Amino acid sequence: MTVHAEAHHGPPIANQSSRVDSSTLGMLLFIASEIMLFGSFFTAYFFVRVVGGAPEWPPHPFHLPVFVAGVNTLILLTSSFTMHWSLQAIKRGNRAGMQAGLVLTLALGLTFLLTQAREYSRIGFAPHDGAFGSSFYGLTGLHGAHVFVGLTLLSFATVRAFRGHFTPEDHRGVEIPGIYWHFVDVMWIVVYTTVYIL
Amino acid sequence: MINPFRSEEEAYRFLLVTVGYFAAIAIAALAIDKWAGLAVFVLLTLAGVVYLVRARRAEPMRQTVSARRGGENEHRILVIANETVGGGLLREEIRRRSEGYDEHVLVVCPALNTAVRHWASDEDGARAQAQERLNASLARLREAGLDAKGEVGDAEPLQAMEDAVRLFGPDEIIISTHPEGRSHWLERGIVDAARERFAVPITHVVVDLEAEQGSREPTP
């Protein structure tokens, strides 16, 4: 018979769940909190839109650049495609493909952000111009901030990719920013459809 | 659970589905009128819910395989028991299965809780009680000449088992329960569920502590 009784000193050992690894669980919890954050902004937006009782939307004299934002949407969707391509490339051992995918994703994300900044400068109203202006800038600005965070994560992944950190077996550093990037794109589809189209 | 953000691949697929979903709503609203857009929204949402419910039912159970640890002559036994470790039947079973091996026994005591406290995440008391039961169980095993280490597990016995399977890497699992009808609400159906989930031999030992105590009591 073997004795395995062990004395443990100090604080209790952290409880550990084995269903999901900690980094993915962290990203899932983060995304869950983000959904709640966006949810509060959408609630404010729909409150203004529905309860405000404006006869037309956007209310007169506001006008939204639907076409430019549509092109921007295509740019962001393309960046999700290049992100996916990047991860598929490293899974197949194609390091150059992964690097190209990450650089393209970064470039497209940056283009989206600059186009949005340009849109803000020409749109003709400001956040303080009534409830519509506040909710519009609140929602699109919140999303823009998320794109910025996504670009930061992608920058780390890109630098690491060029330093040879990722392999077909170990590429979590690309996968986690990828999940976040697709989440940011999903949120933009919701924002674009509800704010610009409908 | 179906989670669209479990991996990059699933997140990408979810993005494509989202694009299709909102494109259909926008086209209906712009091409016909806003009520058509609302109808498409309701229809697609209902279809999505039905799909998710069906997919969840059809999702094959992931079998957790225990990673082999230790040497050739080592036999690792995971015992899941709430308070029945003290039962003579279980002690005998552990002894029989470890005979001739350099055995490693891990006793996991799930921190079983009442339904209200479980859903309110009020588990400190349950963990303290489970720790007491575990200490008593380990003492009884030692009295019987069996040395084992033990730990308090998750409130859900299946989750406690999965944690232990991954960290301890058992060769077999012994689940000890009270007789049917006297089990805790979190323990019901645990043996069948464990057999579905874990690719490790599982033995179910029913310990009737009341009957054992009754048989030990001297007759007047």
How is chain B split into domains, by residue range? 8-58, 74-216
Q: CA B154, CA B110: separation in Å to the nearest integer?
A: 5
**For residue A3, pLDDT beyond 60:** no
CB contact set of A89 (below 8 Å; sequence gap of 6+): A95, A96, A97, A98, A100, A101
Q: Quick one: pLDDT at residue A142?
A: 94
**What average pLDDT does the segment B41-57 reach?**
87
Angle at the Cα of B38 from the Cα atoms of B33 and B44, rounded to 5 degrees: 125
Nearest to B8 among A19, A175, A189 (CB): A175
Least confident of A10-24, A43-57, B148-162: A10-24
Summarize the confidence of residues B59-76 as an average pLDDT.
67
Residues comprising chain A, all counted: 198
ipTM of this complex prediction, to 2 decimal places? 0.82
Whether the CB-CB separation of B68 and B104 falls below 8 Å is answered with no
Residues of B in contact with A28 (CB under 8 A): 3, 5-6
Which residue is it, tokens 């640890």? Answer: B69
Among A145, A194, A159, smallest CA distance to A37 is for A145
- H or E element: which one contains B103? strand B102-110
- Of A4, A17, A179, nearest to B104 by CB-CB distance is A4
Q: Does A3 touch chain B (CB under 8 A)?
A: yes
Nearest partner of B61 among B214, B164, B192, B209, judged by Cα: B192
In angstroms, the separation between the Cα of residue A2 and the nearest Cα of chain B is 6
Distance CA A36, CA A42 (A): 10
Give me the pLDDT at residue A93, please.
92
Q: Which amino acid is at B211?
A: A
**pLDDT bracket for residue B183 (50, 70, 90):** low
Q: Is A16 on the interface with B (CB under 8 A)?
A: yes
Dist. CA B169–CA B68, nearest whole Å = 6
SS (H, E, C) chain A: CCCCCCCCCCCCCCCCCCCCCHHHHHHHHHHHHHHHHHHHHHHHHHHHHHHCCCCCCCCCCCCCCHHHHHHHHHHHHHHHHHHHHHHHHHHCCCHHHHHHHHHHHHHHHHHHHHHHHHHHHHCCCCCCCHHHHHHHHHHHHHHHHHHHHHHHHHHHHHHHHHCCCCCCCCCHHHHHHHHHHHHHHHHHHHHHHHHHHC
pLDDT at res. B58: 64
Say if residue A74 is exposed, middle or buried (CB neighbours under 10 Å; 0-12, 13-18, 19+): exposed
pLDDT at B47 over 80: yes
Percent of chain A beyond pLDDT 70?
88
Report the pLDDT value the prediction gives residue A152, as an integer from 0 to 100.
96
Tell which wins on pLDDT, B78 or B69. B78
Position A182 scores a pLDDT of 95
Average pLDDT (A50-67) is 84
Residues of B within 8 A of A1 (CB-CB) are 98, 103, 145-147
What's the CATH number of domain B74-216, 3.40.630.30, 3.40.50.620, 1.20.1560.10, 3.30.70.20? Answer: 3.40.50.620
Over residues A176-196, mean pLDDT: 93
Instruction: Work out how many CB contacts closer than 8 A connect A with B.
Output: 91
- CA A167 – CA B60 distance, rounded (Å): 30
Which domains, from first to last, does chain A contain? 22-197 (1.20.120.80)
Region of poorest pLDDT, from A4-13, A128-137, B38-47, B85-94: A4-13
Where does residue A140 rank: exposed (0-12), middle (13-18), buried (19+ CB within 10 A)?
buried
* Burial of residue A196, with CB atoms counted within 10 A of its CB: 0-12 exposed, 13-18 middle, 19 or more buried: buried
Sort out which chain A residues have CB atoms less than 8 A from B103's CB and list them. Answer: 1-2
At A54, the pLDDT band (50, 70, 90 cuts) reads confident
Contact present, B141 and A4 (Cβ < 8 Å): no
Q: Test A1 with B11 for CB contact under 8 angstroms.
A: no
- Which residues in chain B are contacts of A31 at CB distance < 8 A? 5
Q: Which of A4, A18, A182 sits opposite B12 (nearest CB)?
A: A182
Are the Cβ atoms of A186 and B103 closer than 8 angstroms?
no
Instruction: Tell me how far apart the alpha carbons of residues B115 and B180 are, in angstroms, rounded to a whole number.
Output: 19
The answer to whether the Cβ–Cβ distance between B12 and A3 falls below 8 Å is no
pLDDT class of A141 with cuts at 50, 70, 90: very high
Residue B58 contacts residue B89 (beta carbons within 8 Å):
no
The Cα A74–Cα A76 span in angstroms is 5
Residue whose pair of structure tokens reads 């012994």 in the numeric block: B174
B3: DSSP letter: -
As a whole number, the mean pLDDT across chain A is 87
Over the stretch A76-103, which tens digit does the pLDDT of each residue have? 999 999 999 999 999 999 999 999 999 9
B55-69, B70-84, B134-148: segment of lowest average pLDDT: B55-69
pLDDT of A24 reads 67
State what percent of residues in chain A have pLDDT above 90.
Answer: 62
Chain A residue whose CA is closest to B163 = A18
Which of the residues B15, B45, B91, B99 would you substitute to probe the A interface, choosing the one with the greatest number of A C-beta atoms within 10 Å?
A: B15
Mutation site, B2, B8, B38, B141, interface A, largest A CB count within 10 A? B8
pLDDT at B181 over 70: no
- The arrangement of strands across the sheet holding B202-206 comes to B149-153, B102-110, B74-81, B172-177, B202-206
- Work out the pLDDT band at B194, boundaries 50, 70, 90: confident
pLDDT, mean of residues B84-96: 75
Cα separation of A94 and A161, whole Å? 11
**Which of A156-160, B77-81, B86-90 has the weakest average pLDDT?**
B86-90
Higher pLDDT pick, B63 / A172: A172
Interchain CB distance below 8 Å, A179 and B7: yes
Amino acid, single-letter form, for residue B77: I
